[in-house]
Amino acid sequence: MKKTPTELIQNVLLSVVCGVILNVVTNQLTSASITAVITIIAALLIFLFLTLFPVWESLKNLFDRLKRTPRVKGKATFPQIFDFNHEPVHLVYTCRARIDKIPCPTEYEFPQSPKIVQQHIALDEFYTQAMMAEWYFPQLIGDKRAVTPYRFHCTNQVDVWEEYSKSELRDRSTLPEFMSENLVIIGENSIANIILDEHHRLIDFSKDMIEIAPYRSDEKPKVQINLKFHPRKNNTIEPHAHTQILTSFTEGSQNAVAMLCYLPNPFNLQKNVLILFGCHRVGQYLLEAWLRDPQSERALRKLFRRHNFADQPYGQIVMFSPYKYAAEEQVSFEKIQLVQNTHNKLPFFPIQLSAQAISQNNFKLDQRTKTPQRMVDISLLVSLADNDATLTKSIETFFKQNLPFLDGQYLESNVAEIGLHVTLYEFATHLGDEQNAFANDQYKLLAGVLQDSLKAIPGTTMGITGYEILPTNIILHVDFPRTFISQIQEACQQAVQSVRGNAQNATTPADKLFNINHMPALLHCTAIRYRTEFSEENQEKLRAAAQTSSRHHFGNMDIDQLSLMLVTKQPYQNVQQKDKIDLATK
């Protein structure tokens, strides 16, 4: 078996040390060898360091993880697990005034005292908001108590949410600034719906609204809010759980549903969002009851222990319970239960955005930019230069003018053979070149099928809606009309099935080749990868730029053509085959 360089050095040093010991034992060590002995002792110390260093690193990681594990009980557990990196937090609640079609108090014009929080909280959210305000009080008030009013928001303050959520291309610069901060969102409301919708390819449970006739009187809801399960990454639930996440107001079968979500903020990946989502008022009461129940602490601890401790504990917890109204606004729950993730036998559904922690504390180099690695990759993508060379050039100019110190980095537009691009669908990714020979034949079959299916899909418009500064690179946020994304996903899935011949298991070479078959959860364009170290000054410039980066709108680009590519080196180099596929006329 091939040994690593460290193992080879250890073996050489071990042989030398053994030789010295043998000389001492046989009395063959002379005075002329003292210098050699000193050298051997130094070598022995190096040997011990190389041997023990990996062990020390493992122990250090273990100690760091133990240090982060909450060790207190009760209310302190919650804010320690969802800690928002101990940064300021904004609290958002549902604007009941808007629902009741009366003026919102935030619209009144009168002097606002810096030490008064003006609120109009819905009754079913009152207890949840009180708990969150208590638990996150230090992060809500910051260093100066005077900032408190400006970190409490009602949903009416996102007055463009309907226009934003219904538009084909979403311009995030139209949203208020607090939407790019750490958020605690209480209730099923417009802001919670925007966040969940932005992450629809990432989460297992989403809102499902059904129009119904009012029950008994006009005061009862005319819509039914449920949760809908659409699994990601092999997560599964029991068949009967699909009905357990449906709200019911029918006498004798009343059922309340709620969920807790902890997610990265889609408008600023450096920040996080905690959503406390109750389906209708009774669902919010259910969530409040669960937060008071000891089982909530047990489930939260499991979520914390299972997540990758380098990241935030992103995930969803879904609960349900039969209920009865004991009196007006007083609900009793029969038994609060959590929907079980039967794939890994856990009471939550983990969410993984990327393999690395999203943090600006440490910028890291992408070593592949210096030493490209062999791979086999087949993907469908949008080449920016092929569709709009002018806008592509303006993006390059923007970074050169605003972040000139990045010139020495790996600029995707200059270095990569493909240039700036958005990966729409990943068919296959293999490290090494074992699949290379077979990949060429399968690529040709796939290209033929895709040419036929994609030419029927009309061209579209892609919005380039901001950029994000991450630990190893800088990406551009992009947005497509939802119908276009659905059509692309369906066409790609059918093309793979056609090439694979509807095989059910990975027994043929084709089955083994197409090992990915998904659309990336976060559609983006990688603009810059880091390949040289940053000075402290330039690191601070990057962090400063990150405060406004997600709100910079580069513009819209008409997409008339896609590209299917087979590449054999990463980061995305050495194009072996490329087919340009024209879309139908709009």
Contact by Cβ (8 Å): 420, 412: yes
Question: Would you state the pLDDT for residue 337?
Answer: 95
Token pair of 24, please? 């001492």
DSSP string, 148-203: GGGGEEEGGG-TTHHHHHHSSS--GGGS-GGGGS-EEEESSSHHHHHHHHHTTTT-
Cβ atoms of 155 and 189 within 8 Å: the answer is yes
Q: Are strands 223-229 and 315-327 parallel, antiparallel or unpaired?
A: unpaired
- Residue 447 carries which side chain, given as an amino acid letter? A
164 contacts 174 by C-beta, under 8 angstroms: yes
Question: Are 425 and 523 a contacting pair, CB within 8 Å?
Answer: no
* Alpha-carbon radius of gyration of the chain: 28
Q: Give the integer Cα–Cα distance in Å for 211 and 19.
A: 84
pLDDT of residue 567: 92
Give the residue with greater pLDDT, 80 vs 16.
Answer: 80
Give me the pLDDT at residue 222, please: 78
49-53, 112-116, 397-401: which has the highest mean pLDDT? 397-401
Distance CA 579, CA 582 (A): 10
Higher pLDDT, 533 or 8: 533
Would you place residue 50 in the very low, low, confident or very high pLDDT band (cuts 50, 70, 90)? Answer: low
Rounded Cα distance between 476 and 564, Å, is 21
| C-beta neighbour count of 220 within 10 angstroms | 12
Asked if pLDDT for residue 111 goes beyond 60, the answer is: no
Average pLDDT, the chain: 81
Alpha carbon distance 149, 110 (integer Å) = 14
pTM of the full structure: 0.75
Q: What is the pLDDT of residue 74?
A: 46
Flag whether pLDDT at 381 surpasses 50.
yes
The pLDDT, as a whole number, for residue 245 is: 93
Confidence of residue 279 (pLDDT cuts 50, 70, 90): very high
In terms of pLDDT, which residue wins out, 270 or 115? 270
Question: Quick one: pLDDT at residue 283?
Answer: 95
Q: Residue 90: how many CA atoms within 13 Å on its side-chain side? A: 21
Give the chain's end-to-end CA distance (angstroms, integer).
58
Position 196 scores a pLDDT of 92
Q: What share of the chain is helix, strand, coil (3-state, %, to 5)?
A: 40, 25, 35
β pairing state of 473-479 and 421-431 = unpaired
Give residues with Cβ within 8 angstroms of 174, minimum separation 6. Answer: 160, 163, 164
357 burial class (0-12, 13-18, 19+ CB within 10 angstroms)? middle
What percent of the chain is modeled with pLDDT above 90?
32
| HEC per residue, 89-107 | CEEEECEHHHHCCCCCHHH
Which CA distances in Å does 38 have to 9, 23, 34, 50? 18, 14, 6, 19
- pLDDT, one tens digit per residue, over 195-205 is 998 888 889 99
